[in-house]
Amino acid sequence: MVDSVTPDAGFALTLASAQAGDEPAIVVLYRAYNPALLRFFAVQAPRVKEDLAQEVWAAVASSLTSFEGDEGRFRAWLFTIARRRSIDYWRLVRRRPPEASDELIDFAQAEQPDDLAIRAAVSELTAGLTAEQAEVVLLRVVAGLSVEHVAAIVHKSPGAVRVIQHRALRRLAQLTDRVVTP
Amino acid sequence: MMDELLDEPTADAIAGGDVDRDLLAPPLRALADLVDRARRPAEAEELASEDTVVQLFVQQLAASRAATQLDGVRRARAKRRAAKAIAALAIVAFTGTAAAATNQLPEAVQTAISDAGSHVGLHLPKAKHGPTASDDPSDADSDSDSGAETGASTDMSGKVGGQGPDATGSAKGGLCTAHFARGATTSEHAGGVAEDNLQAAATAAGQSVDEFCASAVHETSSSESESTPDQADDGAPSNNGGEKSQKPTDPGPPSDDPGASGDPNKAKKAKSPSTPGASGGS
């Protein structure tokens, strides 16, 4: 396991250096956010998670010089791009987009079962949830976004996001309770 | 039971990783553990593409910055071009307006600018007609209201402001012919400055205008008899030089009919306004 690089403290400095083309600063950003991107895509588009993550970084690179904001905004921007890439992917393959609700995600039929422990945990986190619930949980838990940022990304009110999140975690708690206490 | 344990604020705290596990009910601790596992630090496998992605990132960033700088240069060039164009336009507009205001532009341009300016409340003078303007009959018609008549008629009538012809010089014959042509029925100032000049010359000679002109007409008659017989007063060819030579010697009685002078052009010009019914019936 690699120590996570969290640029919270000196995010502004790291961002400025990365915008200037400083490679170590870019590495810091990559190490801080790429794992979350891959975990997000592991649920949303498992077959192409690496490709989509690279696309996100390419999109960030092409617009990084004009980005202004704190770490929270940068994280929200990153996952806004990620979500769009995921939707575009599903549109491209003419599959049902993951943002659609009312259908449970069946990870038993996942395109590419993931045996990595961390992604197994992510799979467990979203198992049994609707796509809408899974998306909110991924953005809140895996991406580490605030309710307000999630609301902005999924085009819902913060209140609606809290309701979705509450129902999702209640469902997960029921599932884990069953596992814990069979 | 789970509804009672997990209210909305607690769910929000668990999702955000901001929760004290000791305060959670045992079923919720398992949920908090699951959330923690999903947020674990990066695995080595998750950073396996670091070199590739970072190199790609650096290249993309450099390209983006170059494009941004190029855009900046283009924008600066575009701004400079626009500023030059605006300056040039302003100079043209200023000098054009100044030239138009002083009536120094070519006739067509002056007229166009004057017309255009009148639409926006800018009063610029109309085009001045030079001697060549009389080539176009329509020009003369259009300017008749302003009094800017063309050619010799301006000098002869003297209606346009100025000194008028010198009645003691070479214009004496023409002025006198015009005097007799106007006759007694015309008003005193029908001849304008020209008539005044003629009157002044006659007074200076101690004669009346008729006496002063009588000698002038004789002088003209004698001089014209020496000219080419085929050439009429207005330069038009004539088939009868002898008849032409008779006209100045005997101008005949003053008449309202300019046709009596034998000049068909003058007749046409004068008849139209005075006898519209006659011309219309012909």
pLDDT value at position A101?
A: 45
A140 vs B121, residue with greater confidence: A140
Q: Please work out, in degrees rounded to the nearest 5, the angle formed at the alpha carbon of residue B48 by the alpha carbons of A24 and A82.
A: 80
Q: Which residues contact B92 (CB under 8 A, 6 or more apart)?
A: none
Q: Which parts of chain A fold into alpha helices (H)?
A: 11-19, 23-44, 49-63, 71-92, 117-126, 131-137, 147-154, 158-180
Identify the DSSP state of B282: -
B271 vs A43, residue with greater confidence: A43
pLDDT at B9 over 70: yes
Per-residue pLDDT, averaged over B112-130, amounts to 68
Say how far apart CA A39 and CA A53 lie, in whole Å. 10
Retrieve residue B159's tokens.
């209606």
With an 8 Å Cβ cutoff, are A180 and B27 in contact? yes
Query: What residues pair up with B237 in beta bridges, in sequence order?
Result: B231
B13 Cα to chain A: minimum distance (Å): 10
Say how far apart CA B191 and CA B185 lie, in whole Å. 12
pLDDT 10s digits, B45-101? 889 899 999 999 999 999 988 887 777 777 888 888 888 888 877 776 777 666 666
Q: Which parts of chain B fold into alpha helices (H)?
A: 2-5, 8-15, 26-38, 50-101, 107-119, 137-143, 151-157, 172-182, 192-204, 209-224, 241-249, 264-274, 276-281
pLDDT value at position B70?
A: 76
Residue with tokens 């170590």: A24
With an 8 Å Cβ cutoff, are B41 and A124 in contact? no
Taking CA atoms, A38 is separated from A48, B44, B53, B208, in Å, by 10, 12, 13, 121
Helix (H, G, I), strand (E, B) or coil at A130: strand
With an 8 Å Cβ cutoff, are A61 and B42 in contact? no
Determine the residue of chain A that is closest to B15 in CA distance: A141
From A26, A50, A166, residue closest to B54, measured CB to CB: A26
Residue with tokens 């109309």: B126
Say how far apart CA A54 and CA A45 lie, in whole Å. 13
Helix (H, G, I), strand (E, B) or coil at B185: coil
Q: What is the signed CA dihedral for B266, B271, B272, B273, rounded to 10 degrees?
A: 110
pLDDT 10s digits, B184-221? 545 545 557 778 888 888 888 888 888 888 877 665 55
B71 Cα to chain A: minimum distance (Å): 13
Q: Which residues of A touch B58 (CB under 8 A)?
A: 21, 23, 26, 61
As a residue count, chain B comes to 282
With an 8 Å Cβ cutoff, are B38 and A57 in contact? no
Give me chain B's average pLDDT, please. Answer: 65
Most confident of the following: B79-83, B241-245, B276-280:
B79-83
pLDDT value at position B234?
A: 39
Taking CA atoms, A132 is separated from A14, A80, A98, B37, B105, in Å, by 34, 15, 8, 21, 76
pLDDT value at position A55?
A: 96
Residue with tokens 């999140």: A165
Retrieve residue B179's tokens.
């005097």
pLDDT value at position B50?
A: 93
Torsion angles phi and psi, residue B237, rounded to 5: -65, 145
Q: Note down pLDDT in tens along chain A; length 182 residues.
A: 444 445 556 899 999 999 999 999 999 999 999 999 999 999 999 889 999 999 999 999 999 999 999 999 999 999 999 999 999 998 888 655 555 544 445 443 444 445 577 878 888 889 889 999 999 999 999 999 999 999 999 999 999 999 999 999 999 988 877 665 54
Q: Does A152 touch chain B (CB under 8 A)?
A: no
Residue type, B227: S
pLDDT at B226 over 70: no
If we measure between CA atoms, which residue out of A68, A74, A64 comes closest to residue A21? Answer: A64
Residues of chain B contacting A, Cβ within 8 Å:
2-3, 5-8, 11-12, 14-17, 26-28, 30-31, 34-35, 37-47, 49-50, 52-54, 56-58, 60-65, 68
Q: Is residue A180 within 8 Å of residue B24, measured between CB atoms?
A: no
Q: Does A54 touch chain B (CB under 8 A)?
A: yes
From B34, B45, B65, residue closest to A65, measured CB to CB: B65
With an 8 Å Cβ cutoff, are B35 and A170 in contact? no
pLDDT 10s digits, A48-95? 999 999 999 999 999 999 999 999 999 999 999 999 999 999 888 865
pLDDT value at position A97?
A: 54
Say how far apart CA B19 and CA B16 lie, in whole Å. 8
Q: Is residue B175 within 8 Å of residue B208, measured between CB atoms?
A: no
Say how far apart CA A120 and CA A50 lie, in whole Å. 17
With an 8 Å Cβ cutoff, are A1 and B41 in contact? yes
Interface A-B, measured as beta-carbon pairs within 8 A, has a size of 158
Q: Which residues of B touch A146 (CB under 8 A)?
A: 16
pLDDT value at position A8?
A: 59
Best of B14, B24, B37, B46 to mutate (most A CBs within 10 Å, chain A): B46
Q: Is residue A165 within 8 Å of residue B11, measured between CB atoms?
A: yes
Q: Which residues of B touch A176 (CB under 8 A)?
A: 27, 30-31, 34
Half-sphere exposure of A89 (CA within 13 A, CB side): 21
How many other β-carbons are positioned within 10 Å of the β-carbon of residue B249? 13
Half-sphere exposure of B63 (CA within 13 A, CB side): 11
pLDDT 10s digits, B148-165? 333 333 343 434 445 667
pLDDT 10s digits, B104-113? 667 777 777 7
Say how far apart CA A139 and CA A148 lie, in whole Å. 11
pLDDT value at position B247?
A: 39
pLDDT value at position B181?
A: 78
Interface of A with B in 69-98 (CB under 8 A): none
Residue with tokens 């609301």: A151
